Amino acid sequence: MNLDKSTKRIAKRVKKGFQGYPQISLAYFGESVNCATQVVVGFIQEEGASAQEQTFSSKDDARKDETIQTTLLKIIERADAKTVLEVAGVAPIK
């Protein structure tokens, strides 16, 4: 799947807002606000459950990495996530 198609499908799911559980959250991290080298995917099965997290890294911007974006979309689809949340911007890596 190409990058443009993946990012549009993820953005469409994010725009829907909270629809219930299971829930996936996406947070991008990087050395600067212009380049996200890590993405953390959080999964919550039901309300009150603890989040399971998985991190993906890239040498370049993860938001423009076709493999990472396609993988994120597959995770969302396989988890049958009703809600997809995305943290705006890129947080600095601590």
pLDDT of 44-66, one tens digit each? Answer: 999 999 999 999 999 999 999 99
Which residues are CB-neighbours of 11 under 8 A, at least 6 positions away? Answer: none
Domain ranges of the chain: 3-92
Residues 54, 74: Cα–Cα separation, whole Å:
14
- The pLDDT of residue 29 is 97
CATH number, domain 3-92: 3.30.720
Q: Tokens standing for 90?
A: 């890129």
Residue 13 confidence class, pLDDT cut points 50, 70, 90: very high
Q: What is the pTM of this model?
A: 0.89
pLDDT of 25-44, one tens digit each? Answer: 999 999 999 999 999 999 99
pLDDT of 67-91, one tens digit each? Answer: 999 999 999 999 999 999 999 999 9
